[in-house]
A and B are shown apart, each in its own frame.
Chain A
Amino acid sequence: EAQVTQNPRYLITVTGKKLTVTCSQNMNHEYMSWYRQDPGLGLRQIYYSMNVEVTDKGDVPEGYKVSRKEKRNFPLILESPSPNQTSLYFCASSWDRGAGDYGYTFGSGTRLTVV
C-alpha cells in the first residue's frame, strides 16, 4: 500500500531533551515536507526537501532540523524542544514540488507535547 509512515503517533517529552520524529514514504517521491498544525493557524511548513541531500527552510524552521540521506526517509529533529513546539506534526510527500494533480500524500500525524 502506498503510504507515508510517521512515528511515533504520540509523544510527550520534557524541555531540552532531543527527539526525532521519523517519516518514510514508499512511493519513490522526490519531494517531502514537514508541517505543523496549530489551532487557528492551519498547516505551516517547517522544512522541505526536493531530493536526496537537498533541504530548505519553510515558513517556521526555527528550532528544527531535517536530513535527507535517502529518498524514502525525511526525519524531523528537535535538538532542544521547548513548550512552544507542542503541536500536531505532519509529514507529506509528492512526485515533485509542484504537488501534481493530486496534491500531497500526508502521514498520519505526530502529536507532540513538550512539558
Chain B
Amino acid sequence: GQNIDQPTEMTATEGAIVQINCTYQTSGFNGLFWYQQHAGEAPTFLSYNVLDGLEEKGRFSSFLSRSKGYSYLLLKELQMKDSASYLCAGNNAGNMLTFGGGTRLMVKP
C-alpha cells in the first residue's frame, strides 16, 4: 500500500499565499495528483506531477520531489472560492490512485 499524509485543516487570508504539503511512501510510486473538492461535490483535477520540480498553472502550482517523497500545492492570490478540501493522490505501482485524507482550506476575508 501507499501511505499519504497531509494536514487536516489550514486557514489563510484572502489575497495571501498558502502551501499545502503532502508526504508519501516512495515505493512503487509513479506520479502524484492534486484534486480540489468543494463540500459535498465531486473532486476535480488540478495537477499531475511525474517529474521533480515545480509546475505552474495560473494561481496554482504543484511541486514534487520524488527522492524525498514530498509534494506541495501552492495557491497564490487566494480567493474566497478557494475554500475547499485539497486531496493529494499517489499513482502507485498498480497504477491506481490512493488518496490522502484531504486538507480543508478555509479562506477568511
Contact = CB atoms under 8 A, between A and B. Distances in A.
Interface of A: 33, 35, 40-45, 48, 88, 90, 96-99, 101-104, 106-109, 111
Contacts, number: 54
Contacts of B30: 98
B48 to A, nearest CB: 5
Given A43-B43, A99-B33, A99-B96, 5 more contacts: A103-B45, A103-B89, A108-B41, A109-B41, A109-B42
A102 B45 contact: yes
B25 to A, nearest CB: 15
A99 B97 contact: yes
8 contacts: A40-B8, A43-B87, A90-B42, A98-B95, A99-B91, A99-B95, A101-B48, A106-B43
Given A90-B42, A108-B41, A41 B101 contact: yes
B58 interface: no
B109 interface: no
A28 B89 CA distance: 24
Contacts of A44: 99
A97 B44 CA distance: 18
Contact of A45 (B91, B96, B100): B96
Nearest to A6: B42
Contacts of A108: 41-42
B94 A90 contact: no
B21 to A, nearest CB: 16
A42 B91 CA distance: 16
A106 B89 CA distance: 14
B60 interface: no
Contacts of A43: 43, 87, 89, 99
Contacts of B98: 45
Contacts of A90: 42-43
A104 B97 contact: yes
A111 B40 contact: yes
A77 to B, nearest CB: 21
A48 B96 contact: yes
